[in-house]
Amino acid sequence: MEAKFIAFEGGDASGKTTQAERVSQKLNAVFTREPGGTSVGESLRSILLDPKEPVALRAEALLMAASRAQLVQDVIQPTLAEGQHVVTDRFLASSLAYQGYASGLEIDQVLYLSLFATDNLTPDLTILIDLPVEESMKRRGNTPDRFEQENIDFHQRVRNGYLKMAETQSDTWIVIDGTKNQETVATNVDQAILSSLQLA
Ligand code: TMP
């Protein structure tokens, strides 16, 4: 069977990391995350998430793309080529949601930049763990990163952007209700993967 590439997306504190890690263990897939997942990417992640680092918006988009390019070349592409599944906690839709829909960069430009970074690789399936913004704000920890510090309107735009992408790409996206308890979310995620990719 051909190796599959699955991306988990969602707002901050949506529970997507828990699901991505669980699914990757279940499928014996390689698990990774963005920004990060490589030595270069993790260095970029600490710059990008640092609340004290005033990264300019276009620099932010480029650094996200740089992390992604490194991850695709060093981890995702070789793993898929060897026939092993890859599960990632965030991928290019995060750039569209955060740098595009929420921060106001042109969507087409962010997409172009991301596809340049990935050499046109896109996930076989994107699972959006959707949560109302008020709920994700409640779940947040005491030390918010640079993105978590943004106001509620910003996070609402992130959510709206994700929902729009899910609607327009319904052949490769699945929306899971993140307000349900973890067990129900897990069951719904597994069913989605099974019916979309005949996996899990
Ligand atoms: P997280 O992986 O812990 O959710 O944190 C990563 C943060 O980085 C999150 O707030 C979303 C943000 N982000 C972007 O703004 N653009 C991107 O392309 C990616 C991958 C993440």
pLDDT in tens, the chain (200 residues): 799 999 999 999 899 999 999 999 999 999 999 999 999 999 999 999 999 999 999 999 999 999 999 999 999 999 999 999 999 999 999 999 999 999 999 999 999 999 999 999 999 999 999 999 999 988 888 899 999 999 999 999 999 999 999 999 999 999 999 999 999 999 999 999 999 988 76
Task: For domain 5-197, give the fold.
Answer: Rossmann fold (3.40.50)
Domain boundaries, the chain: 5-197
Alpha carbon of 95 to ligand 1 centroid (Å): 8
Cβ atoms 52, 176 nearer than 8 A: no
Sign of the CA dihedral running 103, 104, 106, 108: positive
Alpha carbon of 1 to ligand 1 centroid (Å): 31
Q: Which of 71, 125, 117, 127 is nearest to 95 (CA)?
A: 117
Residue nearest to atom 1 of ligand 1 (CA): 12
Cis-peptide, bond into residue 35, ω within 30° of zero: yes
pTM above 0.75, yes or no: yes
